[in-house]
Structure formats: structure tokens, C-alpha cells
Amino acid sequence: MTTHYDVVIIGSGAGGGTLARALAPTGRRILVVERGGDIVREAGNWNPAVVWVEQRYRAKERWLTPGGEFQPNIHYGVGGNTKFWGAVLYRLREEDFEATRHADGESPAWPIAYADLAPYYERAERLYYVHGEAGADPTDPPRGAFPHPPVPHTEGMRRAFERLHAGGWHPSPLPLGLIRPGEDGGCRLCGTCNSFPCMIGAKSDAETCGIAPARTRSNLHVATRTLATRLIADPTGRRVVAVEVDADGTRRRIHGDLFVAACGAVNSAALLLRSGDPARGGLANSSGLVGRHYMAHVTTMYSAFGWKDGNAGPHGFHKTIAINDYYRAADGCPHPLGHIQSQGALHPEMILGGAPERYRRGIAIVRSVAPWSFRYWTDRSMQWLAMTEDLPLRENRVTLRGDRICLSYRPSNMGAHRALNARVKAVLRACGAKTAFPVSFGLGNTTHQCGTLRFGHDPGASVLDPWCRAHDVDNLFVVDASFFPSSAAVNPGLTIAAQALRVADYIGAHHLGAEIEP
Ligand SMILES: Cc1cc2nc3c(=O)[nH]c(=O)nc-3n(C[C@H](O)[C@H](O)[C@H](O)COP(=O)(O)OP(=O)(O)OC[C@H]3O[C@@H](n4cnc5c(N)ncnc54)[C@H](O)[C@@H]3O)c2cc1C
């Protein structure tokens, strides 16, 4: 294999996979370095026992905390975490780009405005086959039509939607990235989508929509099962000359002109901390901010039980309703509260495998004594998520202890989250549930991790510039969720993909002398 490339992209998830797709047509020599393998299409993809109890696809590593350790909800493989996402693909709201006062503090302004990202959101929505209805959500930013119409509700969700309307809320169809839902040969709208890989390739993820088409070109290669251990800089520290990788226990260096970290917010920060000069706190760290301002969204999952209409259960596709009535200051609250969305189907195995670690023993006992109770519950419940903006606290950070990742994290903005939770039960009763039980995943919920290499204009207050290039290193970009200066309160994936497309344009124009196909 060649060991010198024009561009080396490390990681193949939402950021890396999208960037690879955009740069591949330039014809330049591009290598994608991916620590995981291809996610094999197999029956296990849709088997809840394989995905949730055996956890076949979940990373086995454990991260440290200041006082212990935990298993993060993270996946390593081609397509990264997008292979497992629910494909809810939101644009941030216009005000998410501005400084916003929250119940427990302020979230900072981004160095770009919504209008800067809007054309790239449009491209990302096309690339990821996003379905939705423009204008149905009162918080929608200015936008044109979605590339595809909204995904139809199941009968039960349609009735819930109508009841919410009648109750004075403004529900809207969730924007979803699915490939030909309901059509012959397309997405089957099954009950194994969110958290499951798609066995038929009909979920829009970074492998299906990014890496797979990019890989058909002979100028782009993907090195799987290849872990990037550190970036090697020249003596000035201003240029990366190589990435050191470990493949099957063999260490070697891959040289390149341009390097892009896309390992996810925690792993990209860890990669920079492991690189460069330890005396300078790693690479690209003159600000001292590498790894800081980790955010994750403050979330509570609700299992809403006893639906009037029946038609719940683990077989249908229930992830179609969004409620943004509390996204802005409203309902007597002077500050934003957050977002509510319906979730995918719940399977009995998910109750065991997905419960916070401290509850698993007790749940296993209930399961062995009364296995029917799990099915009774899943057949009569629907799942919902309440999500609040997490604020960027300087002390929430990724560090290394030896070679292991250590995550120090305290959720923020809890006043807003409690106020949102206080409203969720009423919402769920209004749309047809008898009662709703909350579950919080706390630290273990690393799914929406972001913010560890924030972008900004000021090199003293940010790690990356507004094009996601390291202030300190001329040929190093980062295109994963690390760049977020604030977390907003909607799902992050589309914003990561849109910014990767924006960075692709910049790299094309300024480093490759090539125009990127829109
Ligand atoms: C169960 C689940 C459901 C989700 N649902 C949604 C949703 O509905 N909507 C949404 O917007 N978001 C959702 N998310 C979050 C979304 O998947 C992430 O925000 C997104 O994938 C992050 O993109 P990324 O590029 O930052 O990192 P990732 O997608 O995580 O990609 C990082 C890649 O880098 C690789 N890597 C890491 N370290 C190294 C290394 N040292 N060397 C080589 N390779 C490395 C990893 O294997 C991975 O492929 C969900 C996540 C999960 C887990």
C-alpha cells in the first residue's frame, strides 16, 4: 500500500464518511483510516438479543472517570456511530448559532451563522435522503422543501399526533434519513432501526451514503482495523507529517500532505492529547482547550405505558413525532427548555441490555422470575425522549490517564431539564398514555458527545478556526462533533455532515485546487 497520500482522513463516521464522499471525486489520493471493521450484513443486525444483550457491535472498552469507570455507548466500525443512529437528521435552529441565555448559564455564539451552513444543510439532506415537512415545526429555520416527503406515521402515532394538535401543541414529523421508506426494496419501516445496523442498507448512514460510494473510486482507500495512535508533527509543531497507526499489532507510519481527524469528539481529543509534544499538552493545544467543554445533551427516556389505541409494541416504526413547543422560552418559562421526540420500538432485550449498569442485576432477576412481564410492557408502551441543551463547562473534559481515556463530566442546565420533564408527562397523557416512567442514562449516554475541540475566531479561546482547521497546525482539520461550541438541543448528526461538506469545499479550494461537486 502507498504510504503517502494527499489527504488522510482518520475515522469514517458522520464527519469522516461525509468528507470522504465529497473529496473522492477530486481524484486525489485519499486514505480513510478506520479502527473498526466493516459492519457485516447478517441476521444478527436485527436481533435485539445480539445487539443489546450480547452487544456484538458495541465497543468493549471502558473509559475512566475521576472516581471509577464505565462503558460508553459507542461503536467502532466503518460508518462509525451512524450505523446505529436513529437517523433523526435535524438542522440546528437559527438561534442555536447565537449566544443564548439558559436557565443555568449562557451558551456561546458560533463563529458562523445559520445562513453560512444553510446551503450545506441542503446538500447534506440530499446526500442522506432526509424526509420531512418544511414549516410544520414552529422552530424551523428558513429553508426550502425537504428532498423527500415525511415518513408516514403508524396508525397509533397518527392518533397521538392528532391528539397533541387538539391539545394545543404543535407536533411535527421528525426529519428522518431513510432510503425509500415503505417502497419495494427500500426501508421496511421495521422495529429494529434506532440502535440497530440496517441489514438491507436502507438507513441513511455514513457508510451507505458516504464511504460506500466513495470507495467505488480507485483513488480512495479505506484501511479498516487500523487504529491511529498519534499524529507526528515536524519540529515546529505547525505541520503534521505522518500518522502512526497500529494494524493487527504492527505499528507503522502513514505520510500525507493533509490530515483530518474525524474520530468522534472524545477520540479526536484523545488523539491530539497523545500527539505532538507532551510538554505543550499534545498537539494543537496552545489554547489549553483540547478535550475541554465536553457536552452530551441532557436526556431522559420515557417509557409511556397503556396506550389508548394499542398499536404500540416492538414491531412498528414509531419514531416519527417531534414536539418543539418548549424549544424556546414559552409556557411561562423565561428560558429555553428543549426538545421532545418519539423513539423507536422497545424490545424486551433492550430493557436488560440498555438499563443503567446499577439496575442490571435487579432487572435480570425480574426477567428470570417473570419473563412475560417484559413482553407485557413492550407490547403496551411507546418510548419518548426529552432532550435539553448541555452547556459547555470548562471542567467537563477528556484527559488521558496513561493511555486510557478519562472523562470528567457533570451534566449542566438541570433546571431547564427538570422543567421540561415536568411537562413531558402531561404531553404523553394528552397523546394517549396512562402513565410514563423516566429513565436517565447519565454519564453512560455518550451518543451525542461533542465540543471537545471547539471552533472559533480567537486562537486563545478555541482549538479550530471557523473552517475547522487547527489554529496551531496548518495542515490539520477536524470534521467530527468536536467542533461544536454549544450543543443545541436537537440531534447533532446533520450538522456534523453539513460542516464536513463546508470543510470539503474549503479543502478543495485552498489545498487541492479542486472544485467539490455540489
Ligand atoms: C444508538 C445511537 C443513536 C443515535 N441517534 C442519532 C440520531 O437519530 N440523530 C443524530 O443526529 N445523531 C444520532 N446519534 C449520534 C450520532 O451517531 C453521532 O453524533 C455521530 O455519529 C458523530 O459523528 P462523528 O463523525 O463525530 O463520530 P462517529 O460517527 O462516532 O465516527 C468516528 C469514527 O472514528 C473511528 N475512530 C475513532 N477513533 C479512531 C482512531 N484512533 N483511529 C481510527 N479510527 C478511529 C470510529 O471507529 C468511528 O468510525 C446516535 C448515536 C447512537 C450511538
What is the CA(290)–ligand 1 centre distance, in A?
Answer: 19
Residue 517 lies in a domain: no
Please report the atom of ligand 1 found closest to the CA of residue 446: 53
DSSP string, 87-116: -B-PPPPGGGGS-EEETTEEEPPPSS-HHH
Residue 329: name the closest of 115, 92, 100 by CA: 100
Pocket of ligand 1 (CB under 6 A): 10-16, 33-36, 73, 76-77, 80-82, 84-89, 194-195, 227-228, 262-265, 267, 271, 447-448, 480-481, 491-493, 496
Residue 518 lies in a domain: no
Q: Which amino acid is at 254?
A: I
Q: What is the pTM of this model?
A: 0.97
CB of 324 closer than 8 Å to CB of 137: yes
**Lowest-confidence range among 96-110, 193-207, 322-336?**
322-336
Grid cell, residue 262, equals 474525524
Interval 443-466: pLDDT, tens: 778 999 999 999 999 999 999 999
306 burial via Cβ count (<10 Å: 0-12, 13-18, 19+): middle
Interval 366-400: pLDDT, tens: 888 888 888 888 888 889 999 999 999 999 999 99
Grid cell, residue 401, equals 490517564
Please report the atom of ligand 1 found closest to the CA of residue 74: 53
| Rg of the chain, C-alpha, whole Å | 22
Q: What is the mean pLDDT of residues 171-184?
A: 97
Residue 508 lies in a domain: yes
Residue 258 belongs to a domain with what CATH number?
3.50.50.60
Sign of the torsion angle spanned by Cα atoms 288, 285, 456, 270: negative
Interval 325-341: pLDDT, tens: 999 987 788 999 999 99
Percent of the chain whose predicted confidence (pLDDT) is above 70: 98
CA distance 1 to 45: 32
Q: What is the mean pLDDT of residues 289-300?
A: 97
For all residues of the chain together, what is the average pLDDT?
A: 94
Q: Are strands 321-323 and 339-342 parallel, antiparallel or unpaired?
A: antiparallel
- Ligand 1: residue whose CA is nearest its atom 5: 85
**Confidence check: pLDDT of 311 > 70:** no
**Residue-level pLDDT at 418:** 95
Q: Which amino acid is at 335?
A: H
Please report the atom of ligand 1 found closest to the CA of residue 33: 43
Which range marks the domain in which residue 231 is found? 4-512
The number of distinct structural domains making up the chain is 1
What is the CA(458)–ligand 1 centre distance, in A?
Answer: 27
What is the CA(87)–ligand 1 centre distance, in A?
Answer: 12
CA distance 114 to 96: 8
Q: What is the mean pLDDT of residues 220-232?
A: 98
Half-sphere exposure of 467 (CA within 13 A, CB side): 16
Residue 485 lies in a domain: yes
**Confidence check: pLDDT of 163 > 60:** yes
Grid cell, residue 397, equals 473534559
CA distance 227 to 218: 23
Residue 356 lies in a domain: yes
